[in-house]
Amino acid sequence: MRTILKKLLKILLIFLLSTVLLYCALTGAAFYHWCDTIDIQLFSDMSRLPDSDKVQRIGDTVEPYLNVLEEELEKSPYLNDGQEHSITDGHIHTLGEFYDPLSFAIWAPLQIALHDIFTKYILISILISAAIAIAYTVITSKKINVILKVVIGYVAIILLVPQILMFSITHNLYFATNISAVYVNSGLTYFYIGYTILFVLMYVINYIIGKKMTKELNETIQEINK
């Protein structure tokens, strides 16, 4: 019982560590790329004059939000009624009544972009970490032969992870139709390569450790029999 509990704790630890490390790595890379490409510098380094193209792009992004907020603000029956209001007073209010429409219009796209960055890789991190934990469980099991280890720990994972990711996006399962849309995807190339390398490494390391333990055990038995 203690051995089983110890192995379960190892599997859980591998899953949690893999999830945290993968999420931090993927999200950090996405955030760095976003910071590197976002147009937040309005002035050129040489002339210190506003960059008209950047100002225009920011204006094109902000304008739709600003127009909606101003239209809703004009329709508000509570705007000039002489009473104090709050967002939680039970009336239907617009954000433009309590926040500067222009400031909120600038903040809204930024908030959406950050939300997308910090939530995009949650499911992917969990799935890949679960795959790693399953691979570890299967590879280190002495009751499963080599063929089943490859089928369960590698082939099954390679087939299932893309399906789950596609289902999370489209809410449809593609087992017999449109297979290329699921598996022939440039975004999954890194997963295929990375998981293959990781599976082979875990298998080789486990094989070396097992072989070493068997050798030490045989040497111990031989010394006892002398």
For residue 18, pLDDT beyond 80 = yes
Q: Give the Cα separation of 91 and 79 in Å (integer).
A: 12
Q: Which residue has the tokens 């499911």?
A: 123
DSSP string, the chain: -HHHHHHHHHHHHHHHHHHHHHHHHHHHHHHHHHHHH-----B-TTT--B-HHHHHHHHHHHHHHHHHHHHHHHH-TTTTSSS---TTSSS---GGGTS-HHHHHHHHHHHHHHHHHHHHTHHHHHHHHHHHHHHHHHHT-SSS-HHHHHIIIIIHHHHHHHHHHHHHHHS---SSSSHHHHHS-GGGHHHHHHHHHHHHHHHHHHHHHHHHHHHHHHHHHHHHH-
**Length of the chain (residues):** 226
Query: How many other β-carbons are positioned within 10 Å of the β-carbon of residue 61?
Result: 16
Q: What's residue 6's pLDDT?
A: 84
For residue range 106-146, what is the model confidence (pLDDT) as tens digits? 677 778 888 899 998 998 999 999 999 999 999 988 888 88
Q: What angle do CA 42, 111, 32 make, to 5 degrees?
A: 65
Which residue has better confidence, 41 or 63?
63
For residue range 164-218, what is the model confidence (pLDDT) as tens digits? 887 777 766 665 456 777 777 777 888 899 999 999 999 898 888 877 776 666 6
For residue 43, pLDDT beyond 50 = no
Q: What's residue 94's pLDDT?
A: 60
Task: Note the pTM of the prediction, 2 decimals.
Answer: 0.70
